[in-house]
A = this chain, B = another copy of it.
Amino acid sequence: MRIVEVGPRDGLQNEPIPISTEEKVQFIQRLADAGVTEIEATSFVSPKWVPKLGDAADLWPALPVGPIYSALVPNRRGFETALNLGVMKIALFTAASDAFTQRNINRTVAESLIEFGEILSQRPAGMRVRGYVSTAFDCPFCGPVAPAQVRPVVESLLELGCDEISIGDTLGTANPSRTRALARELSDVPNLFWHFHDTYGRAVANVMAAMESGVGIGFDASAGGLGGCPYAPGATGNLATEDLVCLLESEGISIDNGIGSGIDQVRLALASVPILERLGRPVSAKSQAAILSQFR
């Protein structure tokens, strides 16, 4: 299974306390040192909308050598920034519900796909593209989303040339049964990642359900569980990378990080500690707390 670390982007984008570019670089360096090799580093978004990622153009050239990095590209302007910086992997963001994209990116799903087509028509050779499908289980604005609503969005993204798809459980309301149902609907989709939120403590159970379904090649996760759910302030957000790695290790499932060395769980548990301290957040990821407790 592959792991895409989204902490530096998804984990920090909504935090109220600013993290310096230097701190981000050090965070990413610690992740790389732990054996994390796929990292979504930032977003080329307007600083007006996401001030905490406003340093993206400064951060990108400073990233440590080694990992494969991606950057979220919310629009054509962001794509131009990516082109100028020589970014070789971008991520595009849409959803399975119009209500969500309209409030988040001010356009319908169909309109977002049209823009993606325009962007992808200019992609340089070798640039890889990830497509996010948010609200694949529930939408905060329109309620439950059926697997049959997710499939056409995934198909469109593949037709537009996306190399991989990330299926987002935006509200953390997925459960094992629903994960299996969506996996059945998407069983023929290549290069599929699952992006579970741990809002209700079910992310690890959903990972198991996805693996048992045999659908998907990996999971998104965030070191330290960084990143809250903006639709439930105070609730926890992303599946913690520590819990994911610990599950995979425990179940004897090998982590494909391309370097054959696995992920060092102690280094991983330590990687986000300076960021958590900076944000004034307690360690809330279970495996991280358990591993760190060995040093107390």
* Chain A residues within 8 Å of B, Cβ to Cβ: 172-173, 175-177, 198-202, 204-205, 207-209, 229, 232-236, 240, 243, 246-247, 250-252, 282, 284-287, 289-290, 292-294, 296
Contacts and interface: CB of A to CB of B under 8 A. Distances in A.
A282 to B, nearest CB: 5
A172 to B, nearest CB: 7
Given A200-B287, A202-B204, A205-B247, 13 more contacts: A199-B287, A199-B290, A200-B243, A200-B246, A200-B286, A201-B243, A201-B287, A202-B250, A234-B289, A234-B293, A234-B296, A235-B293, A282-B284
Interface centre among A200, A201, A250, A296 (most CB of B within 10 A): A201
A27 to B, nearest CB: 21
A289 B287 CA distance: 18
Number of copies of this protein chain within its complex? 2
Contacts of A207: 205
Given A175-B250, A205-B208, A296 B198 contact: no
A137 to B, nearest CB: 11
A281 B232 CA distance: 21
A277 to B, nearest CB: 14
Nearest to A177: B251
A247 B292 contact: no
Interface centre among A172, A282, A284 (most CB of B within 10 A): A284
20 contacts: A172-B290, A173-B250, A199-B287, A200-B243, A200-B246, A200-B247, A200-B286, A200-B290, A201-B247, A201-B285, A201-B286, A202-B250, A208-B208, A208-B209, A232-B290, A235-B289, A235-B290, A236-B290, A282-B284, A284-B284
Interface centre among A199, A204, A252 (most CB of B within 10 A): A204
B199 A286 contact: yes
B285 A282 contact: no
